[in-house]
Homo-oligomer: A and B are copies of this chain.
Amino acid sequence: MAKGDKNVEAITARDVDFAQWYTDVVKKAGLVEYSSVKGCVILLPFGYALWEQIKDELDARFKATGHENVYFPMFIPESLLQREKDHIEGFAPEVAWVTHGGDEELEERLCIRPTSEVLFCEYFANAIQSHRDLPKKYNQWCSVVRWEKSTRPFLRTREFLWQEGHTAHATQDEADAQTLMMLHLYADFAEDYLAVPVLRGRKTDKEKFAGAKETLTIESMMHDGKALQMGTSHNFGDGFAKAFDITYTDKDNKLQHVWQTSWGLTARLIGGIIMAHGDDNGLVLPPKIAPIQVAIIPIASHKEGVKEKAYEIENLLSKNFRVKLDVSDRTPGWKFAEYEMKGVPVRIEIGPKDIEQGQAVLVRRDNREKVTIRLENIEQAVHNALQELHISLFETARQNRRNRTKEVFRVDELRETLDESAGFAKAMWCGDRACEDRVKEEATATSRLMPFKQMPIGDTCFVCGKPADKLVVWGRAY
């Protein structure tokens, strides 16, 4: 970059201090701002626009698979939360309690939903009577509250935006299929839309959702080698149905319990995008989610014909892409740095000499190479650049995951491996909770998932040495 090109404030280098780099990007790109409310952040227009993109795309995919949106209250009476034993144990320590309405103390305190299973269950118990009422496939977009001790923008905040799906089915098979379908929907979205490669599999009993029979998960690796859980899909079996007495009469007029699922995905995905793709110049946005896909920067825009040509290009590209033409009085250098910081996938530079020669300069955000293109081919060139960028981001992230994935055969080996360089470690596990606890204690690692595609690398547990048939991916997680 030429001298003086970089007028935005510098950020910490990614490989020097990843955590500080993350905080710098989040702030300098204008995604969030802190408020005086501890543990909560403000999503500024650019940060919220990313969430809107995620929301719109996922919402369309939910609707296309037969789900309907609803909105349930944010409050849960304490007695209702306590109905399912594992569930209350999992969530009680981290809920916020409302005790007063105006000046009056409430008769029963209410928690702000940390998740809404119990509210949906209470509703299902009333609304479902016959097999004709099934399936119910509901989703809601809302915020939930969990009183976390330590917080970071997007990754862990006391209030966060998410969607939660809740379904009820007549048969176990249907619920099993639903749980799996949603997991694959999440995984396809992460890969096709966010260019983040994910592993698909199931959680161990220790790591599963409080009250679930089984939790499926997608897990990704960030640039620094740490793991990020990107979305989970829970199979409840008939556990909640029995706790809440949710029954229906089947075609033979027999009373049956329903089978349920829930699945959720949060604004932490935005943190995932930042940490999977970002670099020392800021955010790098996968093209499909980028609120601005193409930034057009006129050079020497006071010269005759430059602005006109820039507007012409804006008009042309706006038909198929989300375009921002910046004709403000900032210097081109300032603009380059600004749109790089904001991760805009493609930049078009157009100046008097370019116009003379019927060309423009195209710069892809990831490799930042300047390519001269013919103006008559500009739409195709932008289209290609966006496609290539998506593939490149995905492949780079996958290569990083490949490089940082090891096989280990002892707990101390796991610890040493992760201490040396964060990443995923595959190891065989007997299925015993005690072994999993030892891994946490001795290697400060958690089981991320048991991949659907099990490719064993041995037949004994890497902790206790007993027979083992489960391949688990371990790591240190956000």
Contact = CB atoms under 8 A, between A and B. Distances in A.
Interface stretch (A87-95, A354-362, A404-412, A465-473): A87-95
A102 interface: yes
B72 A35 contact: yes
Given A45-B69, A73-B35, A73-B41, A102 B147 contact: yes
B48 A159 contact: no
A45 B101 CA distance: 29
A98 B112 CA distance: 9
Contacts of A434: none
Copy total for this chain: 2
A103 interface: yes
A247 B241 CA distance: 56
A101 B102 CA distance: 19
Contacts of A112: 74, 98, 112
Given A69-B52, A98-B97, A102-B95, A76 B45 contact: no
Contacts of A42: 70-73, 119, 123
A143 interface: yes
Nearest to A45: B68
A33 B73 CA distance: 11
Chain A interface size band reads 35 or more
Given A102-B147, A123-B33, A40 B73 contact: yes
Contact of A35 (B37, B123, B142, B159): B123
Candidate in A101, A123, A142 with the most chain B CB atoms within 10 angstroms: A101
Interface in A186-201: none
B73 A122 contact: no
A158 B51 CA distance: 27
A411 B49 CA distance: 53
A40 B142 CA distance: 15
Contacts of A52: 69
Interface string A113-130: 000000100110011000
Nearest to A68: B45
A98 to B, nearest CB: 5
A122 B70 contact: no
Contacts of A40: 73-75
Given A97-B99, A102-B95, A110-B37, A51 B73 contact: no
Given A98-B97, A102-B93, A102-B95, A119 B70 contact: no
26 contacts: A33-B127, A36-B77, A36-B122, A37-B119, A42-B70, A42-B119, A42-B123, A43-B70, A43-B71, A45-B68, A45-B70, A45-B138, A48-B68, A48-B69, A73-B159, A74-B143, A75-B158, A93-B102, A94-B101, A94-B102, A95-B101, A96-B100, A96-B101, A98-B99, A102-B147, A112-B112
